[in-house]
Amino acid sequence: GRFIRIDDQCRTSMRGIFAIGDVTGEPMLAHRAMAQGEMVAEIVAGHKRSWDKRSIPAICFTDPELVTAGLSPDEAKRLGGEIKVGLFPFAANGRAMTKMSEDGFVRVVARADNHLVLGIQAVGQGVSELSTAFGLALEMGARLEDIAGTIHAHPTQGEGFQEAALKALGHALHV
């Protein structure tokens, strides 16, 4: 094919040869390549590591910005099992109001049985800044209750993340 096949340690089919970045396929993101390179360096140094791409945030630096990390609702449904989705509109967010950028939302996708967060998406002005929190939540295996129970500073757009988790749990405060 068009890309070099790698395993979960970025090893190719040739012994001692690793591949990282765009040559290994989607998603073609600089922060993905950097993380892969760091992991390979650790493996070469004798540490045990493996690659897990589920928490890589992807961002469109457009107006409005788009951020996605993990699975969309449709992708999560295709995996089987019931899901919960919480969507919080920025029209109800104090910081978005002060910036006069109330268009957009934060959405959280989680398993219905144990509330494990599977994916997070956001659309709106400045939402690229939320990508780190989204990646961290997925990487640490956060559940809806973890996000809902974390104190989010007010007024910030990050509160939308907490509100989306609360909405998925049936405890929305500001919608």
* Token code pair at residue 61: 């630096």
What's at 136, amino acid-wise?
L
| Distance (Å, whole) CA 40 – CA 140 | 21
> Does the annotation count 152 as an active-site position?
no
User: In angstroms, what CA-CA distances link 152 with 59, 112, 137, 160?
Assistant: 22, 24, 14, 9
| Distance (Å, whole) CA 29 – CA 22 | 7
Residue 88 · residue 175 · CB < 8 Å? yes
Q: Of the residues 31, 47, 152, 154, which is catalytic?
A: 154
Q: Which runs of consecutive H residues, i.e. helices, occur in the chain?
A: 30-44, 73-78, 94-98, 131-139, 144-148, 159-168
Catalytic annotation, residues: 154
